[in-house]
Chains A and B, each alone.
Chain A
Amino acid sequence: METKKAIISVKDLVKKYDDFVAVQGLNFEVYEHEIFGLLGPNGAGKTTTLEIIETLRDKTSGEIIVDGFSVDKHPQDIKQIIGVQLQAAGYYPNLNLIELIELFAGLYGANIKPMEMLEKVNLQDKAKAKYKALSGGQKQRFSIATTLINQPKIIFLDEPTTGLDPQARRNLWDLITEIRDAGTTVVITTHYMDEAEQLCDRVAFVERGQIIALDTPDNLIDKLVNSGFERKKEVKKANLEDVFINLTGQEWRE
């Protein structure tokens, strides 16, 4: 990260539900053109934090600035420059992929060619298919296509690889890396540490609504190693997933 310009800054973010504090005083910044990972166990407050930044949920207190816009004052401006993939969201029933892309183009006021959007995520063959008929990996790729319609500066991906097989997962990593390389900032949540290690430029660990660590994956690992930590089993040059991919091939199974 040569230029460390913050595109998202979160200050003292607090979110309270009736008798439960989901987020208690989060502080972090996401830099332009990086893949930023929010990691942590279920219920740690990752999704809540994302949805507050995405203007989908009210916060209790704190300040959030997205590309110069405050979530309090200019939520509409923020919506114009972000793309959002929700965990487990469905799409309008009875429409095929092309029609869904057209719908989102209308909602964003964007002039795009639906087929080109599908080509970006390699779904041109499924143009006339319904969303429900897609495989898990295809569904996630389609969701990512819908986040790119308004040529956003930032996209948010909430557990995009959960439930995918290793091939589909690696493919999605490639797609996400391409999107980052094209100049879009990516904020992602995941439960898979290998994924975060490979994909993310920086990661934040969230636990009980608080950030307990934030750095590049390399630095975090080095810190742990320097503290004297050692794996019980000696690390080999490949892991079982490498074996799986090697045996079953790299191509997409969909």
Chain B
Amino acid sequence: MNKTDVLIIGAGPTGLFCAHQLGIIGLSCEIVDNLDKAGGQCIELYPDKPIYDIPAVPECTGEELTNNLLKQIKPFNIKFHLNERVEELKKNKNRWHVKTSAGIEFDVAAIVIAGGVGSFEPRKFPVKECEKFEGNSLFYSIKDKSIFKDKTISIFGGGDSALDWAIELSNNSKVNLIHRRDGFSGVEASVQKVKELNEQGKLNLYTKFQMDSVLGDKNIEKVKIKHEKGEIKEIKSDYVLGFFGLIMQLGPILDWGLNIDKKTVQVNTENFETNINGIFAIGDICSYPGKLKLILSGFHEGALAARGCFKYAKPDEKLRFEFTTTSKAAQERLGIKK
């Protein structure tokens, strides 16, 4: 059981800055995120795209913003639980018990949901039979590439993941790469490499094709693919891989009894608390009249939510407003030596 003052759900910029604000006022926290790294949408959707509206930062990329926030919270030694999704929530007297997908448990005084538009999950094939094979011969990510040795693999997608895996697996497997158009969104060098391998017969490239159906009993045996003009091809396949990026799903949070409207959680604007005492929501996931989905708004919301958590974490203490320029306590917490 991990005991801490506050559990932050979501390691995007809003969650990270809220952790900073908690640290400044002397509260401890831990952060859970479903992705394998901090940064949220900034890292997953646009790591290289410049952002121009962070106050006092004329231009920075999603990756730079994330790295700077991580640097800013370094003094607080915050524990991250990545690749974890929160599942269960239980009230226990004045505290909350939270359990994650891998069974990690938390005992906390308050919860801050900074979950963006939900947790990132792989996008799946629209074809219904695919569900039946998911996890045994159909995958949306690769954990152990050795299972593909000497097998026939059909890879669907046109981005970097699809291209990189097609190139990599073509060394020891028979690879079919299927994509809905001639153009690819992956980097040009990989696109060229795939085309070369196709010409050398080391990989079969099918463009303007999409999945039509999968056939097989326990495991996949064949896939049918359909050309945009209607032609259907049947190709032998031991495994099918789909790389269509990630989609955001609200997931188990939906069942927590929060007031939810159009995938967002309603909060008050005084401290961004939800309809449930001790549960706060900040950033893209919260809604209130006038809400702007900007990173800067998430920072403001996080600063107020952190202070809202104080009365749950330290009910017998009074929180005084202080500036980091002059507060000895805040400077000590930041590890500043004078």
Same assembly: no
On A, residues with C-beta under 8 Å from B are none
